[in-house]
Structure 1
Amino acid sequence: MVVRAPNKFASAAYFGSKNSSNPLDYLPEGFLQRTRDQGLVIPSWAPQIQILSHNSIGGFLSHCGWNSILQSLQKGVPLIAFPLFAEQRMNACLLTDLKAALRPKVNEDGIVKWEEIGESIKNLMEGEEGKEIYKRLRDLKDIVANALKEDGSSAKALRQVALIWKNLDGNQK
């Protein structure tokens, strides 16, 4: 798990009065001790693509930034959608509609409780909905791989855009 402290662009109001640049200060009390034999917590930055490529990764709790989504789909890693702000909420809706992610439930105060995160992880790893998402991600991984090939839809679309821009530039002289 990679954690970062909130920055000036993301609200940290749900953390109470904490005002720290140390991301570990935002974890629940005793978290590191309770999980030390079950995983690894990396404060700040991690090589996300390499981590998502590892065969031991069973899911990705993501803020639903577009790069993270694309990397997860490319590697076939299911998501738990945990948007924070801006377009991330829309991306989370898209992912859940595509059956590529689970979305933890928000309580009556607009907060996602840690118990709900735990339930989402359990559902992704062991539940029927999680199994369906894993199947869906295998298909999406192939679709993404085909789109990224030299003759794939993504490459073709990019070439078309480049051609349009080239023609626009030539017509303006």
Structure 2
Amino acid sequence: MGLQSSGARFILVVRLPLESPITAEFRSEWLPEGFEEGVKDRGLIITGWAPQLMILSHKATGAFLSHCGWNSVLESLSQGVPLIGWPMGAEQFLNSTMLGDEKVGVCVEVWREKVARVVAAVVKGEKGSEMRRKAGEMREALRKGMAEEESPGGSSLRAMDEFVASIVSPHV
């Protein structure tokens, strides 16, 4: 409902509830009453799988409301898209906090009014513009890092060498 109240255009990917069988069909009652009707002119609801990286790479994507799993964080930042963190468990809380610290994302408490305010601010506001600029810088840094990693002696190779050395070392 906070997303609906934000006034932002959006794509919402809805997956089946965890307790549902994998073969279950999507049911409208899984969404708040009146949600689909209330957003039909500015929201696209996708049930099941969606091409996340393709969506993130589109120039109209202003922000990504995400649970902040590491793959989603990397995909978003690789496209220069700021994140609105909605962590659900595990390392997602840490990832969301880190994004805020780096000023490429914000964490949102799950209250309707808060979600509406944060989505509107990131998608339409000055804070969102600054976050997109910082996320773009992060994208360039990631691209530069990937280019360095492709060369002999890059950081990934060094990290792997250090990891293997720590495993085979008798001091471990």
Runs of 4+ in 1 over 2 A off after TM superposition: 20-26, 150-153, 161-172
Establish whether residue 132 from structure 1 lines up as the match of residue 124 from structure 2.
Answer: no
Establish whether residue 42 from structure 1 lines up as the match of residue 46 from structure 2.
Answer: yes
Cα distance change of structure 1 residues 24 and 100 upon mapping to structure 2, 3 Å threshold:
farther
The letter of the residue matching 1:115 is: E
Cα distance change of structure 1 residues 169 and 123 upon mapping to structure 2, 3 Å threshold:
closer
Which of the pair is proportionally richer in strand? Answer: 2
Residue number among 32, 51, 58 corresponding to 2:36 in the alignment: 32
Gaps of 5+ in 1: 9-19, 107-111
Q: Is the Cα contact below 8 Å between 1:78 and 1:134 reproduced in 2?
A: yes
Give TM-score, length-normalised by structure 2: 0.77
Residue number among 82, 90, 94 corresponding to 1:78 in the alignment: 82
Please report the RMSD computed on the Cα atoms of aligned residues, expressed in angstroms. 2.6
Quote the residue 1:16 is aligned against.
none
Alpha-carbon separation, structure 1, partners of 2:55 and 2:32: 24
Quote the residue 2:3 is aligned against.
none
The letter of the residue matching 1:3 is: V
Residue number among 133, 141, 144 corresponding to 1:143 in the alignment: 141
Deviation sequence 1:49-86 (CA, Å, 0-9, x none): 11111111111000000000000000001111100111
Cα distance change of structure 1 residues 152 and 2 upon mapping to structure 2, 3 Å threshold:
same
Q: Is the Cα contact below 8 Å between 2:149 and 2:157 reproduced in 1?
A: no
Quote the residue 1:116 is aligned against.
114
Alpha-carbon separation, structure 2, partners of 1:29 and 1:80: 24
Quote the residue 2:7 is aligned against.
none
Quote the residue 1:88 is aligned against.
92
Gaps of 5+ in 2: 1-11
The answer to which structure, 1 or 2, has the higher relative contact order (CA under 8 A, 6+ apart) is 2
Amino-acid identity (%): 36
SS in 1 for 2:84: strand
Give TM-score, length-normalised by structure 1: 0.77
Residues 1-40 of structure 1 aligned to structure 2 (within 5 Å): 1-7=12-18, 22=26, 24-40=28-44
Cα distance change of structure 1 residues 51 and 68 upon mapping to structure 2, 3 Å threshold:
same
Aligned length: 154
Alpha-carbon separation, structure 2, partners of 1:162 and 1:149: 17
Alpha-carbon separation, structure 2, partners of 1:165 and 1:143: 24
